[in-house]
Amino acid sequence: MNAPVERLDAAGRASVGESPVWRPAEQALYWADIPAQKIVRLRVDSGERTEWLLPEKVACIAFDRRGTVLAGCETGLFAVALTEAAQVSAGGEPVAASMRKLAAPAFPADGMRFNDGRCDRQGRFWSGTMVMDMAAANPAGALYRFDANGVLSAPVVDALITQNGLGWSPDGKTMYLSDSHPLHRLIWAFDYDVESGEPRNRRVFADLHHYAGRPDGAAVDADGCYWICANDAGLLLRFTPQGKLDRQVPVPPTKPAMCAFGGSNLDTLFVTSIHPGASASEHDGHLFAVRPGVTGLPEPEFAGQL
């Protein structure tokens, strides 16, 4: 089905736009541009845009209650302070962000980084790793948990090529995870222990070999349905909690990367996208706002203090 879609960042274009996070207090959307090493903020009502430059690639972000960013980057997890600056206009120089390393896994291969990540309903931060050279199809990636005490877990799920698609049901008792590599294209569901933060009973939730696209970033709506960006297909797919595809929403970019609910009523689905280079369309790499006719859930903040 079609839904109203608007392109928001006409003056900005990401190489790999990822990890949109809505901040209600600011009425602003934040996201990451991985290869550009940037965190971007857009105040949606005014169109005011600010960029912060990091010293390494940043793939996913969350916030703690004080507004400090928890970021999954190239060499580990970092606390990032986003200092305000006078320049906010598009095309201005990005502001340098200060970073403090919190934790890092023992990467089992060269050329790895963190990828998709977000907090569970209890405020634990989860993120996975991947080998940046996707052509290598190296299943060295793993999923990690970073708790409020600042402890990084051992790998909780391993043998991932391109970890993606993290999300939790409204009650927090189901966890979702995908692998978006062309060789996998799977979404899994787990029973999730909200007290211990342990996922169990892994099973295939959706196999995107049967649908268009690859399962990239995701969001869960207030009805418990799971929205996944179908990368390479220009679609958002919504699956019911039972794993049934019940909606397909076309979007202008060919490579939608991740989606997140926001807006004053949490009824807007913000979608970041990827610019694939020479084959890109005029829409690829831009940010879009979709009105899908359903509402989302507030993005949980990290429960610890960074």
Q: List, by residue number, the catalytic residues.
A: 216
Length of the chain in residues, anyone? 306
What token pair was written down for 32? 């990451």
- How far is residue 263 from each of residues 27, 64, 187, 252, 298, measured CA to CA in Å? 7, 20, 27, 20, 10
For residue 7, the one-letter residue type is R
Region at 224 (left for phi over 0; alpha for psi -120 to 50; beta for the rest)? left
Nearest to 217 by CA among 208, 228, 225: 228
Which one-letter DSSP state was computed for residue 56? S
Does 216 appear as a known binding residue? yes
Cα 40 to Cα 17: distance, rounded to the nearest angstrom: 9
Specify whether the CB–CB gap between 274 and 15 falls below 8 A. yes
Determine if residue 113 is labeled as part of a ligand binding site.
yes
Separation of first and last alpha carbons in the chain: 42
164 is in an annotated binding site: yes
* Order of all β-strands in the sheet with 198-207: 163-168, 174-179, 186-193, 198-207
Structure-token pair, residue 135: 């052509």
Whole-angstrom distance, CA of residue 187 vs CA of residue 204: 6
CA distances from residue 116 to 32, 34, 147, 250 in whole angstroms, order as listed = 11, 11, 17, 22
Handedness of CA 296, 72, 178, 198 (dihedral sign): negative
Contacts of 290 by beta carbon, 8 Å cutoff, 6+ apart: 3, 4, 5, 236, 249, 251, 259, 268, 269, 270, 271
Which residues carry a binding-site annotation for a divalent metal cation?
A: 18, 164, 216
Which residues carry a binding-site annotation for substrate?
A: 113, 115, 133
Which residues carry a binding-site annotation?
A: 18, 113, 115, 133, 164, 216
